[in-house]
Amino acid sequence: MRKNDQDARKEKRTDRRERPRIPANFFCLLGPVSFRHRPNHRHPRRQTNRPRLRRVLTGQTILIRDNKVEAVGNKLTIPSNAKIIDLTKMTVLPGLIDCHTHLADGTRDSEPIGVFRKTAAELALESVPNAQVTLESGFTTVRDVGTYRALGDIALRDAINRGDIIGPRMYVAGAYVTITGGAGADTGLAPDITLPWDMHYGEANSPWEVRQVIRKLAHDGVDHIKVLSSGAVLTHGSNPKSQEFTLEELQAAVDEASHFGLRVESHAHSPEGIKNAIRAGVASVEHATMIDDEGIALAKQHGTYLDMDIYDEECIQEEGKNGSMPKDFLEHDAALGQIQRDNFRKAVAAGAKMSFGTDAGVCPYGTSGKQFAFMVKYGMTPMQAIQAATSNAADLLGHSNEFGSIKPGKYADIIAVTGDPLTDIRTLETVQFVMKDGKIYKQ
């Protein structure tokens, strides 16, 4: 009975996310180069980040019917009523996927206390342009991993899916599942100030409290669960080198989430916080800043993705120079940026599974593409970096059958750039064409 209930819940969430179908419509995209990926299904728990079997195709035609790719090839019969889009002077790729965003946090503010100066409605309205600029930069799907005011990300997702506003396909967490005073808590205020319900919605301090919070979030319609197993850099009173949640609490989170068909990701900077999360069975570790050799080996053993945001250090340091970053955040961050980048290189060399996540909101929205160059600088090939943000990211989200590559039957999430990203990865910083779900948003 549990499996049937689980399937029903999955179907209900899928229905809530899907956009209304439009009348039959054909697009025909003409392009010289397109990327298709073939995942290796022989040993799914032992996949590494070494380049999978893939094809870079030239002279291709992509036929799109409604919101799905119908055919890809160089000798397709084009329907007479198809709208022709000529991308022959561009490189065509699958829509990009950012697995670590915070689109529902409103206008960027380095000081989390700023959230107390705004109503929930203000934050929601401020988040609308975040979604639009993210889509227009080429990211057709995001995994949004928490917001300080609970459930605002659900409202943003649903508004996009209804067509009320423009934005990427969003998979949302609803709130941070965090210990009291932890990395995901609203801290920095006097202890006698009582927080409203939506600012401590995810607080939990035992395995059973963790389960209770996850049950609430599942009921409210989240797509995944975000826990925090170490302290944070950008939280007052926190220590990124600390461990938060016990192994038992993290295991309870993964187990309870599984009852609702939900995956769990864990914020973790510290070595033990990282390893506890992996042992508990999370799908990915976010940041993974101080991961050690044992942690990398555990990630490979468990098939855990490392979602390492190695670009946003540039923005933290820049805001430190101009005085807009709180002093204690800069103290937390000291030396961690380079440590994370060095460990990223080690994880890539070791063959750990890597996805693409930027912590969007730390840097300006719409600039996530700048991380590709840093991923290549610190050990990836351009193809590996592209796979991290396409096929790998789709696998992490559990939706490889829907997006992540240009293949018949998948959503028509397609972007195009001038130049060849395999020779100059920075071309992905300026995306000229964006289609999501068969609809053109930028051309």
Amino acid at position 285, single letter: V
Counting beta carbons within 10 angstroms of the beta carbon of residue 373, is it exposed (0 to 12), middle (13 to 18) or buried (19 or more)? middle
Percentage of residues in the chain having pLDDT higher than 90:
68
- Provide the whole-model pTM: 0.88
Q: What distance in Å separates the CA atoms of residue 180 and residue 244, rounded to the nearest whole number?
A: 10
C-alpha distances (whole Å) from 226 to each of 50, 268, 283 are 27, 11, 10
Kindly state the greatest CA–CA separation across the chain: 70
Q: Are 180 and 202 in contact (CB under 8 A)?
A: no
Residue 54 is predicted with a pLDDT of: 61
Q: β-strands 263-268, 439-442: how paired?
A: unpaired
**Over 50: is that where the pLDDT of 24 sits?**
no
Question: What pLDDT digit, counting tens, does each position of 256-287 carry?
Answer: 999 999 999 999 999 999 999 999 999 999 99
Which of 267, 266, 370, 367 lies closest to 310 in space, CA to CA? 370
C-alpha torsion 341→343→345→351, nearest 10: -140
**Over 60: is that where the pLDDT of 87 sits?**
yes
Question: What pLDDT digit, counting tens, does each position of 230-241 carry?
Answer: 987 777 777 888
Residue 38 is predicted with a pLDDT of: 47
Q: What distance in Å separates the CA atoms of residue 261 and residue 218, rounded to the nearest whole number?
A: 9
Average the pLDDT over 53-73 and give the result.
Answer: 86
Question: What pLDDT digit, counting tens, does each position of 322-344 carry?
Answer: 777 777 777 777 789 999 999 99
Counting beta carbons within 10 angstroms of the beta carbon of residue 432, is it exposed (0 to 12), middle (13 to 18) or buried (19 or more)? middle
Q: What distance in Å separates the CA atoms of residue 139 and residue 36, rounded to the nearest whole number?
A: 17
Q: What distance in Å separates the CA atoms of residue 277 and residue 229, rounded to the nearest whole number?
A: 7
Question: What pLDDT digit, counting tens, does each position of 165-174 carry?
Answer: 999 999 999 9
